[in-house]
Amino acid sequence: DGGITQSPKYLFRKEGQNVTLSCEQNLNHDAMYWYRQDPGQGLRLIYYSQIVNDFQKGDIAEGYSVSREKKESFPLTVTSAQKNPTAFYLCASSPRDRGRLEKQFFGPGTRLTVL
Amino acid sequence: GQSLEQPSEVTAVEGAIVQINCTYQTSGFYGLSWYQQHDGGAPTFLSYNALDGLEETGRFSSFLSRSDSYGYLLLQELQMKDSASYFCAVRDPTGAGSYQLTFGKGTKLSVIP
**Cα distance from N-terminal residue to C-terminal residue, chain A:** 36
How many residues are recorded in chain B?
A: 113
- The answer, for A61 touching chain B at a CB cutoff of 8 Å, is no
For residues B36-45, average pLDDT: 95
Chain B residues close to A58, C-beta within 8 Å = 97, 100
Task: Please give the average per-residue pLDDT across B5-16, as a whole number.
Answer: 97
pLDDT at A25 (0 to 100) = 97
More confident residue, A85 or B95: A85
pLDDT (0 to 100) of residue B1: 66
Average pLDDT over residues B33-54: 95
Chain B residue set in contact with A, beta carbons under 8 Å: 8, 30-31, 33, 41-45, 48, 50, 87, 89, 91, 96-97, 99-106
- CA distance to partner chain B, nearest, from residue A105 (Å): 7
Please report which confidence band the pLDDT of residue B30 belongs to, taking 50, 70 and 90 as the band edges: confident
Chain B CB within 8 Å of residue A2 CB: no
> Which tens digits make up the pLDDT trace of A56-72?
999 899 999 999 999 99
Question: Residue A115 pLDDT > 80, yes or no?
Answer: yes
Residues of B in contact with A45 (CB under 8 A): 100-102
pLDDT class for B97, splitting at 50, 70, 90?
low
Average pLDDT over residues B52-72: 95
Q: How many Å lie between the alpha carbon of B27 and the closest alpha carbon of chain A? A: 16
Residue of A40, A43, A103 with shortest CB distance to B103: A43
- CA A104, CA B41: separation in Å to the nearest integer? 15
Q: Residue B95's pLDDT band (boundaries 50, 70, 90)?
A: low
Greatest CA separation found in chain B?
47
d(Cα B37, Cα B14) in Å, to the nearest integer? 19
Residues of A in contact with B101 (CB under 8 A): 33, 45, 101-102, 104
Encode pLDDT of A3-46 as tens digits. Answer: 999 989 999 999 889 999 999 999 999 999 999 999 877 899 99
Amino acid at B84: A
Confidence of residue B28 (pLDDT cuts 50, 70, 90): confident
The verdict on A3 touching B (C-beta cutoff 8 Å) is no
Average pLDDT, chain B: 92
